[in-house]
Amino acid sequence: MSANGPYQGAIDCDIHPRVPTPQTLARYMDDHWRDTVEVRGIEAWDSISYPPNAPLTSRPDWRKADADAEPAKLTEATLDRFGFAHALCNSLFAVQFFRDENLAAAFARALNDWLAAEWLDKDPRLRGSVVLPIQSVERSVDEIERRAADRRFVQVLLLAMGEQPLGKSMYWPIYAAAERHGFTVGIHAGSSYHHALTSSGWPSYYLEDYAAQALGFQAQLASLICEGVFVKYPKLKVVLIESGVTWLPPSLWRLSKFWRGVRLEVPWLDRSPEQFARDHIRLTIQPFDAPPSPAQIGRIMDQLQSDEMLLFATDFPHWQFADDAMLPAGLSPALTRKILIDNPLAAYPRLGRP
């Protein structure tokens, strides 16, 4: 594969620099918080979403090459190799786990500073997401405002499972700030683990955790649409990152079917939930919970009823695909081009304005 291959100019909408340690982030904190990290003994803060040694967390060849450890190695493994135009860095340090919103805000700020200094400054093709300390809406808005001038940050980042459904009006100041500055709102698979992962309680196995993420996304999608976030903030785009994609059509069928009967609850929806999703929701394409044959993939594309919703992503270094098969089989060349380039540019207004 070379810089003239099929991925030339693509925009990779989801890559993960290796999660920094608390000590690394402490270097980006003020004296009080640096001391706090030491005094409280915050030595490790690993998420069970992607445990560092789990096979899924890093593809074997990339693990061997230490490819997510620093920008030069990452760009060699992906951007240079395939000719990507940009890659969007989503930091997975688990800021969302903290119960103390002040501590969360200190870590979020340090994490975003770290990303800018140690990644974005090192390669002009890299772009970043602003991780929000969602424990506090006010502090999340502060973080958006603080980052707005740095155009390399193109998205604000939330998790699929948190304290409250994300459409609730308590979160609207975040969407107002995001819309004001042209940020896209990214919702990444993952949980604050402040609530059970399923509405029936805690599952036993990692397998169940991973599969339940799709339910988390469904709930957020329904909440954002039904509460009227896209009526209130019509320019907002929301990207569901690492959602698996193929759960979407049946979920929208269900939502739209019941909307017809209970529309009175949410009269601000002047279109069907399906239409709101097509207008405002985008999804990264790795991982793609694929049916067995390419012909069935074609049917799923038809069911989406839109060629604008899917965004290219590798989910580097997570092990979501083998070799260089980064897209599901059976996509037309025209759709492939949209997924690789046009759709990401449309989903991230800040990408076009360096």
Partner 1 sequence: MPRHVVAKAAEIPPGSRKLVQVAGRDIVIFNISGELFALSDKCPHKGGSLSRGKLSGAVTASQPGQYHYSRPGEIIRCPWHAWEFDVRTGRSWCDPQRMRLMNYAVSVEPGAKLVEGPFTAETFAVSVEDAYVVIETK
Residues that bind partner 1 (CB under 8 A): 169, 227-229, 231-232, 259-264, 267-268, 272
CB-wise, 149 or 264, nearer to partner 1?
A: 264
Is 155 within 8 Å of 348 (Cβ atoms)? yes
Strand partners of residue 263: none
Alpha carbon 231 to its chain's center: 22
Least Å distance, CB 260 to partner 1, is 5
CB-wise, 73 or 232, nearer to partner 1?
A: 232
Least Å distance, CB 228 to partner 1, is 3
Least Å distance, CB 237 to partner 1, is 18
Least Å distance, CB 179 to partner 1, is 15
What number of other Cβ atoms are within 10 A of residue 168's Cβ? 13
Least Å distance, CB 258 to partner 1, is 9
CB-wise, 39 or 264, nearer to partner 1?
A: 264
The rounded distance, in Å, linking the Cα atoms of 189 and 198 is: 14
Least Å distance, CB 137 to partner 1, is 17
- In terms of Cα–Cα distance, which of 191, 234, 237 is closest to 214? 191
Q: Give CB contacts under 8 A, 24+ apart, made by 333-339.
A: 334/307, 335/301, 335/307, 336/6, 338/307, 338/308, 338/310, 339/285, 339/310, 339/311, 339/312
Least Å distance, CB 231 to partner 1, is 6
Is 109 within 8 Å of 144 (Cβ atoms)? no
CB-wise, 211 or 231, nearer to partner 1?
A: 231
CB-wise, 173 or 349, nearer to partner 1?
A: 173
CB-wise, 40 or 235, nearer to partner 1?
A: 235
Least Å distance, CB 174 to partner 1, is 15
CB-wise, 226 or 311, nearer to partner 1?
A: 226
Cα separations in angstroms, 232 against 132, 185, 227, 228, 268: 21, 15, 9, 6, 9
CB-wise, 227 or 242, nearer to partner 1?
A: 227
Record the tokens describing residue 87, joined without a space.
């890659």
